[in-house]
Amino acid sequence: MKKRQSYGHQMAGRKLKFVKVDLVARREYLLEEKEQSNELLMLLCQQAESMRVLTNTTHYDYGHIKSKMDLTYVHRQRLV
């Protein structure tokens, strides 16, 4: 992909300079279940069970649950 870099308006008499720009690859946020390893799926099941227990025992204090769980990225899917 090329990106135009302008040094003024179109009628300024200067040619537009083209600069090559690399495209950023789009990454999917969540993996498909079939693409995850069994260990990660088992860990996720354990975390879901832990979250269910926390929800039932903390009288809906979600701040406590949020501080205990971090499921943002695969390498951070663990109890804090």
Q: What is the pTM of this model?
A: 0.33
> For residue 71, is it within any domain?
yes
What's the total number of domains in the chain? Answer: 1
> For residue 1, is it within any domain?
no
> For residue 17, is it within any domain?
no
> For residue 9, is it within any domain?
no
> For residue 13, is it within any domain?
no
- Please determine, for residue 71, whether its predicted confidence score (pLDDT) is greater than 70: no
Q: Which of 50, 41, 57 is nearest to 79 (CA)?
A: 50
> For residue 63, is it within any domain?
yes
> For residue 24, is it within any domain?
no
**Residue owning tokens 């999917």:** 28
Q: Domain of residue 65: give its range.
A: 32-80
- Please determine, for residue 1, whether its predicted confidence score (pLDDT) is greater than 50: no
Query: Does residue 16 contact residue 4 with C-beta atoms inside 8 Å?
Result: yes
> For residue 72, is it within any domain?
yes
- Please determine, for residue 30, whether its predicted confidence score (pLDDT) is greater than 70: no
- pLDDT tens for 43-70 read 888 888 887 887 777 665 666 556 555 5
- pLDDT tens for 6-28 read 555 555 566 666 666 666 666 65
